[in-house]
Structures are given as C-alpha cells and as structure tokens.
Amino acid sequence: MASNDEQQPLHVLFFPFVAPGHLIPVADMAALFASHGVKCTILTTPVNAAVIRSAVDRANDAVRGTGAPAIDISTVPFPDVGLPPGVESVVEISSEADRFRLLEAIRLLREPFDRFLADHRPDAVVADSFYPWSTAAAAEHGIPRLSFLGTSMFARACNASLLRSNPLEGLPPDDPDAVVSLPGLPHRVTLRRGQVMDPRKNELEWNYEKLTNAADQRSYGEVFNSFAQLEPDYVEHYHTTLGRRVWLVGPAGHASEDLAARGSAGGLAPEAERCLRWLDEKPDGSVVFISFGTLTRFTAAELWEVARGLQQSGRNFVWVMSESDTDASQWMPEGFAELIDPGEHGFIFWGWAPQRLILNHSAVGGFVTHCGWNSVLEAVSAGVPLVTWPRYGDQFYNEKLILEVLKIGVSVGARFSASKLEDRSEVINGEKIAEGIDRVMGGDEEAEAIRKKAVDLRGKARSAVEKGGSSYDDVEQLITELMARRSSVNVL
C-alpha cells in the first residue's frame, strides 16, 4: 500500500529573482506545473508578490474544483538594507548605491529560504540563477535545486562561452566595435566588444556571472522557458558539450487562453480596454507595437527619434511609454500630435500594457522590442516578426538568435550595451527605426520570408505545450523523476 507521503502531490518551491521579468514567467511556470498536479509555492516579498498575485489568483480560479492543488504565494519581509519602504525590486533602483543595497538584500534572502526548506521540506526548488547561494542552501537540506534565469538557452550558452574563454582579452581594449567571437557554439556567433559584458568595465558583474554559472552547473539541472524546436542545437549543446541537464517547459503561460491583465494589479484596466478596442478598428497586420519591458529607460533624445521613426514609417502604432515620460515637449516632434490626437494612426499607452493580448491581436504586424526573453517568446508565440533594439545584458544575445538563427526579425543597429544606471550616448536615428519597421511589415520578399518564419514558429510554440509536445513531455518527465527521487529518498 502507498504510504501517506507517496499519495501527496509533488511539492515544488519556486524562488524568483526580484524583477517582473523573472516573477512573471515563474508565475506562469507554477501554473503550468500545477496543471500537471504539482503543489507549487512561490516564495517572495510583498511588493513582488503583488506583481503576480492576480495571475496566480486566475490560475487558481481556473482549476478550482478539479482537485488540482492551488498555488500558494509565501511572502517574507524584504530585508531591511536601507532602501526606502516599497523598494523591493530592480525596477525602482536608480543609483549604484541602491543597487548595492539590493544585492545585500538578495544575500539576506537566504535566511527565509533556508527557513522555508527546513519547515516545509519541498521535494524540489526552482530557484533563480541570480541566487547562486541557493544551490548550497538546498544541498544542505538534501533538496534538489533546479535553476531558472528566464532567458534563452542560446543566450546562456553564449554567456558561458564568453566566461569560459574570455575572447576580450586578445582585443584592443578601447575599440567598442572590435569583433568578439564566441568559440565552441553550434553557430558562429560574433558580437561587438561594446555589446558584451566586459570584466575591465565591470568586474563585479563578471564575477557574479561566473558565480551564478558555476552554481547552476552544480545544480540538479536547469529549467528554461523555451521549447526544443526553437533552439534545438542549443539543447544538444547543453547536453553533449556542456554536460548539463535541462528541461524546456515553455512557452509557459501561452497555452492558456486567459491572457488578460497579467502582471497588473487587478483585471483589465480601462486604458487596456480602450487600446484593444482601438486595435479592433485597424486592418490585420497594420499596427506596429513598440514596448521595451520593465527596466528600460530612454533619454529624451532617444524618445524623439522613436517618435520620428514611427512618423516616418507611416504605419499605425501602439507605443508603450513610461509615466515618467509624460512631458511631451521633451520628445514630441512636430506633426506627431496629429497622429495620436484623433487616435487615427497612433495609440500611446501610458504604464502597464496588456502586452500578450496586444501581440496576439490580429491587427499587430510587427514588434519593436528590447529583446527581453519574455517579450521575444511572447512574440514568437503570437507569430509576430521583430525589430530588435537590445539595450544590455542577454538582450544582445537574444538579438543574435532572432536575426541569425531564427531569422524572424531585423535590427535597428544598436552598438552599445548600457543598463539604465549607465550613461547612454548612442541614439538610434528615426530613419533606422522606420527602415526596420518597413523591413518586417512591408511587401517585399525579405519581409514576407520573415513573416512566414514567424508564423511557422507560432505553430511550433503551440504544439510544444500541447499534450504530447516536447515541453509538455519535459514537464511530465521532470515530475516523474522527482517523484521517483522522493520515493527512493524515503526508502533510505
């Protein structure tokens, strides 16, 4: 007879990094695992919990009464490190001093993590790569730790190659355009020096990446919000060249019909309703969507060029802008107000837009993106071609994947990496932006080929998460393995 313990569902603790781009896919993943019968808990702090609360509530509502275990959010206080009350995530960090405080807070989150493991003894944890100490902490409790970063396998493989071989060493230090070649990858991947992490510029970041990469390597395995047919060579590369165990479970959240209002505090906001109604009026494929995730900030000069680019493209657009950019005199070129005032050609969305709903609207025919992985995957799932404008970090690798491997987009030609805390002198001009939009939305052969590839991938993304698809099977396989592990541990 099965013991009491064996009848319990598998319990997985998810422990996301304190940024929406990490929390959102973790909430999606927890919903996915819960739909496979897994008891999921998400451990985070109050402000971060609020980012995913409505998505988790909706996931729980969807399975209520079916016997599937509900997802719990376990909140712990944000460590007191001298940040103002309510500042608990990367989004609100605007100075180097605060960044250091946040790093300290992250280190201090080990204590509540430890406590949760001791008190609840989950069968496994899926902890963010940015918590490298969680590998050792989980090992001390005899609990397998799977790592999750929320980027592509391609980007992680590129980063691992950079860290392993440091090809920057042999290059002229002051030439940002020097070509960096990343060895040992399935494709020939080259970037510019100015686009990759540089230990001479930021030793802390370089060492932290080394630490996270090493901790992930020591983990039980790695979970990716991606799917095998999107980057098959990199699945193979991970298994055979790097000898790392991976499960690709994505696109998480995209199987669900309920795309509404994810990440926002309540249901669909009136502004979101207005935007979707505006899109309903537009012909299929006629609107370019332009949005840059949760962490990107633009200078007024850049915004001015974006506005000029949209103007010159002559296309309809939805542009998501930050509420801090409301002073139009800083960025609005002549003639632009006429495009948005009657709302005939343009819709400016202030604040949190329902991105997945917009991308899945038939009126949307192109997406100007910073190449954050969630945005890329959402566009892939919606079959929308991309105009790439990476800003920093993994975004430049994701751009390479989009342009050179998947061939579902074109670039505006960004040459330098700079986070929102670093100086940004590069301003992409409006002509480049308009040209990029035309190259994916226009009528020539190149645009048609790009759009066809994007639509093909949408089909593959959907199949991956259906019963019998590769991601569905990876989730099942991981659950079976962890269940078997629990039984064998209990026998010992």
Instruction: Give the residue numbers marked as catalytic.
Output: 22, 128
Pick the binder of ligand UDP from 44, 147, 152, 374 (CB under 6 A).
Answer: 374
- Total residues contacting ligand UDP (rule CB under 6 A)? 19
Q: Does 155 bind ligand UDP (CB under 6 A)?
A: no
Nearer to ligand UDP, 144 or 471 (CB): 471
Q: Does 469 bind ligand UDP (CB under 6 A)?
A: no
Q: Does 375 bind ligand UDP (CB under 6 A)?
A: yes
In angstroms, give the least distance from the CB of 277 to ligand UDP: 18
Nearer to ligand UDP, 132 or 293 (CB): 293
Q: Does 49 bind ligand UDP (CB under 6 A)?
A: no
Residue written as token pair 């000029």 = 308
**Segment interacting with ligand UDP, rule: CB under 6 A, options 47-55, 366-374, 427-435, 454-462:** 366-374
**Segment interacting with ligand UDP, rule: CB under 6 A, options 76-84, 187-195, 287-295, 441-449:** 287-295
Nearer to ligand UDP, 90 or 479 (CB): 90
Nearer to ligand UDP, 134 or 355 (CB): 355
Phi first, then psi: what are they for 74, rounded to 5°?
-100, 115
**Segment interacting with ligand UDP, rule: CB under 6 A, options 214-222, 277-285, 286-294, 454-462:** 286-294
Give the Cβ contact number of residue 460 at 10 Å.
16
3-state secondary structure the chain: CCCHHHHCCCEEEEECCCCHHHHHHHHHHHHHHHHCCCEEEEEECHHHHHHHHHHHHHHHHHHCCCCCCCCEEEECCCCCCCCCCCCCCHHHCCCHHHHHHHHHHHHHCHHHHHHHHHHHCCCEEEEECCCCHHHHHHHHCCCCEEEECCCCHHHHHHHHHHHHHCHHHHCCCCCCCCEEEECCCCCCEEEEHHHCCCCCCCHHHHHHHHHHHHHHHCCCEEEECCCCCCCHHHHHHHHHHCCCCEEECCCCCCCCCCCCCCCCCCCCCHHHHHHHHHHHCCCCCCEEEEECCCCCCCCHHHHHHHHHHHHHHCCEEEEEECHHHCCHHHCCCCCHHHHHCCCCCEEEEECCCCHHHHHCCCCEEEEEECCCHHHHHHHHHHCCCEEECCCCCCHHHHHHHHHHHHCCEEECCCCCCCCCCCCCCCCCCHHHHHHHHHHHHCCCHHHHHHHHHHHHHHHHHHHHHCCCCHHHHHHHHHHHHHHHHHHHHHHC
In angstroms, give the least distance from the CB of 98 to ligand UDP: 18
Phi first, then psi: what are they for 158, rounded to 5°?
-65, -45
In angstroms, give the least distance from the CB of 401 to ligand UDP: 14
In angstroms, give the least distance from the CB of 377 to ligand UDP: 8
- Return the exposure string of 318-335: e unless at least 16 CB atoms fall within 10 Å of the residue's CB, then b: bbbbeeeeeeeeebbeee
Restricting to residues 341-360, which ones interact with ligand UDP according to CB under 6 A? 352-353, 355-356
In angstroms, give the least distance from the CB of 346 to ligand UDP: 16
In angstroms, give the least distance from the CB of 123 to ligand UDP: 28
In angstroms, give the least distance from the CB of 275 to ligand UDP: 11
Nearer to ligand UDP, 21 or 383 (CB): 21
Measured between alpha carbons, how far is 302 from 428 in angstroms, rounded to an integer? Answer: 7
In angstroms, give the least distance from the CB of 318 to ligand UDP: 11
Pick the binder of ligand UDP from 293, 309, 436, 469 (CB under 6 A).
Answer: 293
Contact flags string 417-446 toward ligand UDP, x per CB under 6 A: ------------------------------
Phi first, then psi: what are they for 178, rounded to 5°?
-55, 140
Q: Does 372 bind ligand UDP (CB under 6 A)?
A: yes
Restricting to residues 312-331, which ones interact with ligand UDP according to CB under 6 A? 320
Nearer to ligand UDP, 353 or 428 (CB): 353
Restricting to residues 471-490, which ones interact with ligand UDP according to CB under 6 A? none
Contact flags string 16-45 toward ligand UDP, x per CB under 6 A: ----xx--x---------------------
In angstroms, give the least distance from the CB of 26 to ligand UDP: 11
Nearer to ligand UDP, 112 or 372 (CB): 372
**Segment interacting with ligand UDP, rule: CB under 6 A, options 10-18, 31-39, 47-55, 292-300:** 292-300
In 3D space, the residue among 96, 90, 69, 65 whose CA is nearest the CA of residue 78 turns out to be 90
Angle at 156 between CA 244 and CA 15, to 5 degrees: 80
Q: Does 295 bind ligand UDP (CB under 6 A)?
A: yes
Judge if the upstream peptide bond of residue 251 is cis by omega within 30 degrees of 0.
Answer: yes
Pick the binder of ligand UDP from 44, 294, 311, 316 (CB under 6 A).
Answer: 294
Please, which residues have CB within 8 angstroms of residue 484's CB and are 6 or more apart in sequence? none
Residue whose beta carbon is closest to ligand UDP: 21
Contact flags string 231-270 toward ligand UDP, x per CB under 6 A: -------------------------------xx-------
Q: Which residues bind ligand UDP (CB under 6 A)?
A: 20-21, 24, 262-263, 291, 293-295, 320, 352-353, 355-356, 372-375, 378
